[in-house]
Amino acid sequence: MKHFYILIITLMVSPFVALAQQKDRTRLSDTLKNYSAYKRKLTFAGVLQTRYVLSLDKDVDINGKNFDPATSKAISNTFLIKRARVMVKGDINDHFSANILANLAEFNSDPSNKVLENAYIKYSLNEYFHVQAGQFRPFFGIEDAMAVDIIRTLDFSNQYYAFGKNGWQSFQTGISVLGNVIPGGKLRYFAGAYNGNNKNQSSDDNNTKNLYGRLEADFLKDFTIGINAGSGSIASSSIGQAYGADATAKIPLTKKFDLLLMAEYKTGANFLAYNADKQLLHPDINEYQMHGFYFFPTLRYNHESRRLRAVEFSCRYEYFDENYKLASNPRQTLIPNISLIFADDFYAAVQLGVAIDRFKNQVPLSTTYNHSLGYVQLQIRF
């Protein structure tokens, strides 16, 4: 019977002894011979943003256009879907990945050259070198560096959309390299070349490629400064330049309150204005310049209850002039906003506020007209 118990114990222990004698398969340098599917995975994400908007001015529609009530009828309030983005990311292995982002809300209007936003392949060697090729947002300011599915107020800045239409930022097709300059990520670089004629185009509209570079530095905890420079053109325009600088900071005030600060200035060539000028001898491209500045403070109350995670009070001020040398007409925008955040990282938020636009010179029957837009919007990330 004694030998029987010894045999039973031996049989029970032997699998664990054999397992212990095997090599540690987590030591990749010893055992992994094929990286084809190492860390391979497929992830889905997205954002849905719905809103109700109401024009607060007489004879101004929801797009800020002044109209004559005697001759036309306009929409002064509506429900709408602003964004219905779906993102797919496929990690092929620990170095290669593919990213696709589509905004299905663009099907509400003419979807030509609109729906597909991100479509790029990324190779990551280490923290110092990443390269991506395809359609993506060049890193030319804070709003390009921020996640595309986090909108802290009504929308991006006026300068973001104007610089995007002129090929300086927003979604473009090309190649980009980025990474850390020093270990730990305190100093980062971004650089690239792209067509510069905006997204979903079959090819470039000229033989000049837009070039850009950006440096970001963390000087203190939660304080970052960035600088940008770019060169490029659109269609038949001459080559122009663009420059910018920005800063972000997070200042803890108390255990529950944080102050978030964001500021950005940019100046650059307005290629669309240059190409639209039909004069036989029109000024040099350096005369068609746009510039703008915005300051975006946010006071965040970290409620941290089970349902209401935080409340944000913000008021973004922006000054922007699309052609300040030849046809200056500054636009000033003020957007007071309250955000109720029901899930961390803006995974569920309700926002309400007013977008107030004032022009130095109003143009009747156009969007260059003073207006105010009230809004309530719901954002869900998934």
**What CATH code is carried by the domain that includes residue 218?**
2.40.160.10
Structural tokens at position 322: 């699309």
User: Which pLDDT does position 313 carry in this prediction?
Assistant: 97
Query: Does residue 349 lie within any of the structural domains?
Result: yes
Rg of the chain in Å (alpha carbons)? 26
Element counts in the chain: helices (H) and strands (E): 5, 17
Separation between Cα atoms, residue 262 and residue 247, nearest integer Å: 6
Question: Which positions of the chain have pLDDT values less than 70?
Answer: 1-30
Number of domains in the chain: 1
Query: Does residue 71 lie within any of the structural domains?
Result: yes
Query: Does residue 92 lie within any of the structural domains?
Result: yes
User: Which pLDDT does position 227 carry in this prediction?
Assistant: 96
For residues 210 and 230, the answer to whether their CB atoms sit within 8 Å is yes
Structural tokens at position 58: 């007489």
Query: Does residue 29 lie within any of the structural domains?
Result: no
Q: Helix, strand, or coil here: 162?
A: helix
Separation between Cα atoms, residue 156 and residue 374, nearest integer Å: 16
- The residue written with tokens 């920005």 in the block is 246
Helix (H) / strand (E) element for 151: namely: none
User: Which pLDDT does position 26 carry in this prediction?
Assistant: 43
Q: What is the pTM of this model?
A: 0.87
Domain ranges, residue 273: 34-381
Torsion of CA 354, 355, 358, 362, to 10 degrees: -110
User: Which pLDDT does position 102 carry in this prediction?
Assistant: 95
Question: What is the secondary structure of 193-229 as a DSSP string?
Answer: EE--S-SS-SS-SSSPPEEEEEEEEEEETTEEEEEEE
Query: Does residue 51 lie within any of the structural domains?
Result: yes
Q: What angle do CA 162, 166, 170 make, to 5 degrees?
A: 70
Query: Which residues are registered as beta bridge partners of 91?
Result: 41, 97
Long-range contacts of 363-367 (CB under 8 A, 24+ apart): 364/66, 365/65, 365/66, 365/67, 365/68, 366/65, 366/66, 367/63, 367/64, 367/65, 367/66
Structural tokens at position 265: 């200035």
User: Which pLDDT does position 17 carry in this prediction?
Assistant: 39
User: Which pLDDT does position 16 carry in this prediction?
Assistant: 38
Query: Does residue 43 lie within any of the structural domains?
Result: yes
Q: Where are the alpha helices (DSSP H) in the chain?
A: 2-21, 28-31, 142-145, 158-165, 271-276
Q: Helix, strand, or coil here: 143?
A: helix
User: Which pLDDT does position 2 carry in this prediction?
Assistant: 40
Query: Does residue 2 lie within any of the structural domains?
Result: no
Query: Does residue 205 lie within any of the structural domains?
Result: yes
